[in-house]
Structure 1
Amino acid sequence: MIVTTEQKQLIKTARITGVWYLMMAISGILGFMVFHSQIFVSGNPEQTLANLVELESTARIRLLLEFTIVISQALTAVWFFKLFKGDYEWEAWTLGIWGIVNALAIMISAISIASAIGIANSDISVMQDKIVLIEVLQNIISNAWGIGGLFFGLWLFPMGYIIIKSKRMPAWLGRVIILGGLGYLVSTVIHYAGIDFSFNRFLTLPATIGEFWMIGYLLIFGIRPSNEQN
């Protein structure tokens, strides 16, 4: 099979998209799942304040990882737009915009983390004032990620739709990604509706599977020629 110049360029674009997506995944795992709990203790602003002071370097690593999430999320959205805009311009715009909105939600978290570090290590003499401010910022961080889940779910819908319609990636990849997007939306709504659903965290599992599948496909295969069927 002869690979055209256009197809080579698309494969290159797909692999760069995969690199940004992988960076987002790694920084997300390290930042939110590894380092976050070392500093921010849910329901305990006093301990969080102590951690921000005693483990300031760790807190700053957490902040830098949040920066990386924001940047890589934005770049992933932009490069997905570049990859798909040729045949699916409207869907590519939707994918790109919703991805950027999610990056903005995480940016709110980054601003709050930076503020928390600054307040914890400031000259404010009244300890109770510091604790109250840290508690407020801690809630903002948590809700930026929580409500950001709406748009993290939404951006998966056009991604999955393009994959299925274009037949340039496995159709089941697109289906799993759409299911993952639905899982994010439902999980977020259930959480903020105050419903006690013990299996809520499992609703986002298809998204995790789909995203790592997507990353692997982009990095290894790139994208199929437009005339290749599933």
Structure 2
Amino acid sequence: MQRFSDPASSEYARWAGLFYLGIAVFGGFSIAYVPSQIVVAADAAATVANIRARTGLYHLGIAADLVVVIFEIMAMTMLYFMFRPVSATLSFAAAMARLSMVSVMSAMLFFHAGADLLAHSNDVMIHFSADQRADVAGLLLEMHRAGVWIWQVFFFLHLVLLGYLVIRSERFPKIIGYGLILGAGGYLLDSVYAFAFPDASLLAMTRAVLLAIVTLSEVGFALWLVVRAPGTKTAAVGAMA
């Protein structure tokens, strides 16, 4: 565990980047791919049928979500110690914002588990018809989707703070920090769009552009950590400049 002992070392930065990239890989699988293969919009019965027919894939999606939560905890903690010399208060606030996001993501797993239970077990809600049980499963999946709108607000705050810390640290290209700050608005606008203004085309286009910016910035940040591994003992000095 020595590799996790020195936040100013290159090895520490590289591991933080690997955890960050792992979040992107497993998160892309569980958040994007699995729902695209399972969920049928406005058809709860078809969705439940897909869960039954592709149980292995559905369970892999839940497992990937658990991996994301574990990687998030590691990345969040390591980023906190990396950027604490820049600003202890803002680094802690960024960590708390990301922890709030992870807490919501963890709670969301219960909805997936509930839908899985309704799809496979005949021992729950036994007085309901198959269609009614499917409707409840569909409701649980919709509640899971709504959870995304909540955690994105916390992630917006985290990325704004992280972007500022990246800029001040002088260990990364400043464009990454500015990209994180600007692009973070994509997560906030996506929540506003999905929750309140689903028919606002300009809002949809704006959030798509910002999400593209933040995705490139996050991947760039993670790759910089892994490839360049900016481990330098002068991080604190740069913060005081």
- Compute the TM-score of the two structures, normalised by the length of structure 2: 0.86
- 1:8/1:182 Cα in 2 relative to 1: closer, same or farther (>3 Å)? closer
Structure 2 unpaired stretches of 5+ = none
Q: Hey, what's the Cα distance between the residues in 2 that align with 1:224 and 1:55?
A: 45
- 1:64/1:216 Cα in 2 relative to 1: closer, same or farther (>3 Å)? same
1:175 maps to 178
Q: Hey, what's the Cα distance between the residues in 1 that align with 2:62 and 2:108?
A: 9
Q: Hey, what's the Cα distance between the residues in 2 that align with 1:40 and 1:34?
A: 10
Q: How does 1:20-31 map to 2 (within 5 A)?
A: 20-31=19-30
Q: Is the 8 A contact 1:45 1:135 kept in 2?
A: yes
Q: Hey, what's the Cα distance between the residues in 1 that align with 2:94 and 2:230?
A: 17
Q: Deviations over 1:39-71 (max 9, x none)?
A: 122221111110111111111011111111222
The amino acid of 1:182's aligned partner reads G
1:221 maps to 228
**1:228 shift after superposition:** 7.2
Q: How does 1:188-203 map to 2 (within 5 A)?
A: 188-194=191-197, 195-197=199-201, 198-199=204-205, 200-203=207-210
Q: Which has the higher contact order (CA 8 A, sep 6+)?
A: 2
1:100 maps to 99
Q: Is the 8 A contact 1:20 1:75 kept in 2?
A: yes
1:37 maps to 36
The amino acid of 1:183's aligned partner reads G
The amino acid of 2:200's aligned partner reads D
- Compute the TM-score of the two structures, normalised by the length of structure 1: 0.90
Q: Hey, what's the Cα distance between the residues in 2 that align with 1:19 and 1:26?
A: 10
Q: Hey, what's the Cα distance between the residues in 2 that align with 1:90 and 1:146?
A: 26
The amino acid of 1:167's aligned partner reads E
Q: Deviations over 1:95-114 (max 9, x none)?
A: 11111111112112222111
Q: Deviations over 1:62-87 (max 9, x none)?
A: 11111112221222111111211233
Partner secondary structure for residue 155 of structure 1: helix
Structure 1 unpaired stretches of 5+ = 1-5
